[in-house]
Amino acid sequence: MLTRLYEHKQISLREYQEALAEEVPANRRVWPFLAPHFCLEIKKRYSQESQVITTIDLDLQVLIEALVAAEIEKLESKGITNAAVIVIDNHRHELLAAVGSADFFNVRHQGQVNGYLAPRSPGSTLKPFVYALGMERGLITPKHYLEDVPVLYGGYSPENYDRAYSGLVSAEGALQRSLNVPAVNLLADLGGEALHELLRKAGFTTITPVNHYGLSMVLGGCEVNLLELTALYSSLACGGRYYSPKTRMVPGTAPPKTLFSPGVAYVITQILTEVLRPDLPACWEFSSLPKVAWKTGTSYGHKDAWSIGYNPRYTVGVWVGNFSGAGRPELIGAETAAPLLFDIFNKLNQHSAVQWFKQPSTVKQREVCALSGQKPGPHCPTLVTDYYLADCSPDTECAFHQTYLVDPETGYRLPPHYYSSSKALTEMVYVQYPPRIASWLEKNGRPIDKLPPLLRDWQRLRPGRVPVIHSPSPDYVYQLRPGAPREYQKICLEAAAGNDVHKLYWFIDGEFLGSAAPGERLFYLPEPGVHRVVCQDDQGRSAEVKMVISE
């Protein structure tokens, strides 16, 4: 055969002589078959090159493939058939392992689908980046309060996973518990576009140029792939700098994109490193867990389970699910993806100790009010220690604990600087919650101290928080159903107010409709048109919205 190839000038004389000198193998050899999804991708990307030296660590790739196969073998009886894993070196910014499925040749479970490039709903895995943006822009610190009460955004009403609410929760508590409502509220405070802009800046290829996702994006209302999501988490390990992971050995590294300050990245990492987390299954042994900053996610319908973690050396991303898109009740990030994540980290760390991240100079600690998480005022009874960023954290004094003068004889609250030479006045401290929180606490049977009514002669326009109108929504057009009686299409009027308010008064186009306590509902018999809705509290403070009703 060689002679014929040479005679027909298909090979050169040198190639002919080299081939003749080669020893003829005595046994058939099995061709190596490693990292098939990765190799196919590299072949497609560099099709014009005869040789490509990649960043894949062969021993680690073999190990991860074995761990994935073993994990899916345990889960298959529950109808869970596939997984994908990415491992990134945070020092060299290289892709060290890339597993696309549990078994490339499993036709039944679509093993040739590349799971680490497949667009999937990320569940809660994007939440840490909204909190990072909130810290970067000076809205929160870890102990700063967030509202966790039902809320409506133009017809969109997010709910927590367990459909329960806390009323008031710290930012770090909300992130560690992966609460939905505080995350959506924070994204709304950031302007709604912030997360989309961040993912676009990081080069996510699965995100559309125009943000049509809305606030639900932070809860998984978009699609990402495991490779890009893991690289985004790697930016937290790299002091807020995003590096596109290298896949081939070439000199140098592309310049990073700065997503966050090193201080923000450090504080978010500290929150995600907490071991005693609500999303950690109680059956796990804490002593066996490596020190890792991590987050889990579960997509709507239990179709995708995620777990992403990092330490100073490595970032690991795990996805578990079915390529068919079939959901399973057991597909929960903390229960089906996190065990594989920690198993991988235990293997990565077994031969060397990892020194943890150094605290940047901008990260400091201070005492804050235990209730509000703000700088303590003179009347805050309990203080806790909180991280803050010297260059951007909020410096607001606690507005929850306020003192008021009370006439012990009449029980009326007196205005500030009131003076009486004829009677002794009492100074009392009250907790003045934000309106939505105060209304929710009272509505759900959680006692709060109501401020005594203001002295009658002083019940005029007072400074303070105006009522917060929950309904009607100014972002929604109310469409009357033809043929249905109007009395069955009444529109709810509801508002929240601070705990210094006892009564709310409602006006439609200047006409008094009725009164109700904060959180109670009135109903308006709808008339087509554009209406001005005013809600005024018993202190004279008012809020208004536009209500549009269409036939």
Residue 331's CATH number:
3.40.710.10
Q: Does some domain include residue 63?
A: yes
Are 228 and 353 found together in one domain? yes
Dump strand ranges (E) for 363-416.
Answer: 363-369, 383-389, 401-406, 413-414
Tokens in use for 161? 């996973």
Per-residue pLDDT of the chain (551 residues; tens, 9 = 90+): 788 888 888 999 999 899 888 888 788 877 778 999 999 999 999 999 989 999 999 999 999 999 999 999 999 999 999 999 999 999 999 999 999 999 999 999 999 999 999 999 999 999 999 999 999 999 999 999 999 999 888 778 999 999 999 999 999 999 999 999 999 999 999 998 999 999 999 999 999 999 999 999 999 999 999 999 999 999 999 999 999 999 999 888 889 999 999 999 999 999 999 866 555 655 455 456 789 999 999 999 999 999 999 999 999 999 999 999 999 999 999 999 999 999 999 999 887 778 999 999 999 999 999 999 999 999 999 999 999 999 999 999 998 998 888 888 777 777 666 656 556 778 888 898 888 898 888 888 887 877 777 766 555 545 567 889 988 988 888 988 888 888 888 898 999 988 778 889 899 988 888 888 888 888 998 999 999 999 988 877 888 999 999 88
**161 close to 220: Cβ distance less than 8 angstroms:** no
**183 close to 130: Cβ distance less than 8 angstroms:** yes
455-478: b (≥16 Cβ within 10 Å) or e:
beeeeeeeebbbbbbbbbbeeeeb
Q: Does some domain include residue 524?
A: yes
Name the β-bridge partners of 218. none
Are 453 and 473 found together in one domain? no
Query: Coil, strand or helix: which one is 235?
Result: helix
Residues 6+ apart with CB under 8 A from 454: 412, 413, 414, 415, 462, 500, 539
Q: Does some domain include residue 21?
A: no
How far is the C-alpha of 244 from the C-alpha of 326, rounded, in Å?
Answer: 31
Residue-level pLDDT at 142: 98
Range of the domain at 478: 468-550
Are 115 and 240 found together in one domain? yes
Q: Does some domain include residue 543?
A: yes
E strand or H helix that includes residue 98: strand 94-99
Are 102 and 233 found together in one domain? yes
Q: Does some domain include residue 474?
A: yes
Q: How many domains does the chain have?
A: 3
Are 430 and 475 found together in one domain? no
Domain boundary among 458, 492, 527: 458
Residue-level pLDDT at 461: 42
Are 477 and 442 found together in one domain? no
User: Which one, of 125, 121, 181, lies nearest residue 148 by Cα?
Assistant: 181
Are 232 and 303 found together in one domain? yes
Q: Does some domain include residue 64?
A: yes
Tokens in use for 67? 């761990």
Tokens in use for 78? 């529950």
Instruction: Flag whether the pTM goes above 0.85.
Output: no
Are 80 and 228 found together in one domain? yes
Are 482 and 528 found together in one domain? yes
How far is the C-alpha of 124 from the C-alpha of 84, rounded, in Å?
Answer: 18
Domain boundary among 329, 359, 389: 359
How far is the C-alpha of 163 from the C-alpha of 154, rounded, in Å?
Answer: 20
Total Cβ atoms within 10 A of residue 414: 20
Domain boundary among 458, 486, 504: 458
Are 476 and 355 found together in one domain? no
Q: Does some domain include residue 175?
A: no
- If phi over 0 gives left and psi between -120 and 50 gives alpha, with beta otherwise, what is residue 174? alpha
pLDDT, tens digit (0-9, with 9 covering 90-100), for 252-301: 888 999 999 999 999 999 999 986 655 565 545 545 678 999 999 999 99
**237 close to 310: Cβ distance less than 8 angstroms:** yes
DSSP state of 434: -
Residue-level pLDDT at 286: 46
Domain of 545, CATH number, reads: 2.60.40.10
Are 321 and 339 found together in one domain? yes
E strand or H helix that includes residue 326: none
**211 close to 190: Cβ distance less than 8 angstroms:** no
User: Which one, of 314, 317, 275, lies nearest residue 296 by Cα?
Assistant: 317
Residue-level pLDDT at 156: 87
How far is the C-alpha of 84 from the C-alpha of 64, rounded, in Å?
Answer: 10
Q: Does some domain include residue 371?
A: no
Tokens 């006006």 sit on residue: 507
Are 444 and 496 found together in one domain? no
